[in-house]
Copies of this chain bind each other. A is one copy, B any other.
Amino acid sequence: MNLKQLAAHLGLSPTTVSRALNGYPEVAEATRARVAAAARAHDYRPNTRAKGLATGRAMAIGHVIPTATRHEIVNPVFADFIAGAGERYAAAGYDLLLSVVPDGDEAQAYRDLARRGTVDGVILHAPRIADPRIPLLLDLGLPFVVHGRSSEVRAPYPWVDVNNLRAFRRAAEFLADLGHRRIALVNGLEFMDFAHRRRRGYLEALESRGLPADARLMHAAEMTETNGHRAGRALLALPAPPTAILVSSIIMAIGVRRAAEEHGLALGRDLSVITHDDDLSYLRNGEDEVPIFTATRSSVREAGRIAADLLMERIGQPGQPPRTRLLEAALILGLSTGPAPRAAAPPAPPAGA
């Protein structure tokens, strides 16, 4: 059942039916009611493509998610971010278009979405330092919002990000204040902007507490359980192992915990761990109990909601100066941190290791 048929059925012109359904004022209330009833009875919905062609709007938002072909990793936070964003899209009548592309083909994917007019805007995921996709999107004139930020990009652009630097600085300082002197960092890949900022926060904290930065205490890898385990194992096998570890994701932290257990270390007593916690729905850290991990927490689902709102606003009013939104992560206390152990302190060399 299309508009013309519905109109014919009602003995009206397509124009009137269209206006009646779209809430235009110049249609009599009686007619509008009659049209609405008929539309409901026939379960009529305007054809997306025809409507889009006529209005020039796709009523769809694109998300391009890269799947690194080599490692085949799909970032688990996408699911929750997209759930948050999708919620808002649905409420506003937007569809969500997902483009799964191999790493590297992303520029092409954005160009394609823009030129084909498939979407009205996109969310840019997982920005890197000096991410070339940002100038590309600015150039294409396709409205977008970045989930995260990209250091070294000069032009202003809209983004939603967690204050990663401050979160990790606070976490590391907290550990230092508990007496930890050897604090390790198990980070995501550091060409990713968030990881870069977290490292800076970590380093700033070390400096502010007068602790030396030790390259052997810093690991960076894709944020899988396996990599968390590897890093944890390597750290604990050091001659002077850390007494505290700062971890970039809860999935990595689970790997670190596994390594600790293999070494017979109890979290919170023998080894302190603070992890970043994206508040993933299937991996809650302390739902109605004390959190297992002390963590810097920031809901990625909420970030999705905010990014979606920002983008739809931007689509509605282009030309406005780009808005940004910096979210603060909460530092929540769990069972995985405690004062630095005294007993196990290694024979302290006079001038620090």
On A, residues with C-beta under 8 Å from B are: 43-50, 52-53, 58, 60, 65, 67, 71-76, 78-80, 82-83, 85-87, 89-90, 95-101, 111-112, 115-118, 222-226, 251, 254, 258, 261, 280-284, 287, 292, 301
Contact = CB atoms under 8 A, between A and B. Distances in A.
A116 to B, nearest CB: 5
Nearest to A1: B115
Among A44, A48, A284, residue most surrounded by chain B Cβ atoms (within 10 Å): A48
Nearest to A266: B261
A72 to B, nearest CB: 5
A47 B117 contact: yes
Given A49-B53, A83-B67, A96 B97 contact: yes
Helix, strand, loop or mixed for chain A's interface?
A: mixed
B251 A283 contact: yes
Contact of A101 (B78, B90, B97): B90
Given A75-B79, A86-B99, 11 more contacts: A44-B115, A48-B117, A49-B117, A73-B281, A74-B83, A76-B76, A76-B79, A76-B282, A222-B282, A224-B281, A225-B283
How many copies of this chain sit in the oligomeric assembly? Answer: 2
B75 A87 contact: no
A204 to B, nearest CB: 29
Contacts of A282: 73-76, 222-225, 251
A258 B293 CA distance: 12
A80 B86 contact: no
Contact of A72 (B67, B82, B258, B301): B301
Nearest to A60: B97
Contact of A50 (B53, B79, B281): B53
Contacts of A76: 76, 79, 280, 282-283
Nearest to A89: B100
A61 to B, nearest CB: 10
A118 B223 CA distance: 36
A269 to B, nearest CB: 13
A98 B74 contact: no
Nearest to A115: B45
Contacts of A47: 53, 116-117
Nearest to A254: B254
A53 B85 CA distance: 28
Nearest to A281: B73
B78 A225 contact: no
Given A48-B118, A53-B53, A224-B282, A80 B74 contact: yes
Contact of A90 (B45, B75, B89, B99): B99
A80 B73 CA distance: 9
Nearest to A80: B74
Contact of A284 (B50, B85, B101, B224): B224
Contacts of A49: 48-50, 52-53, 58, 117
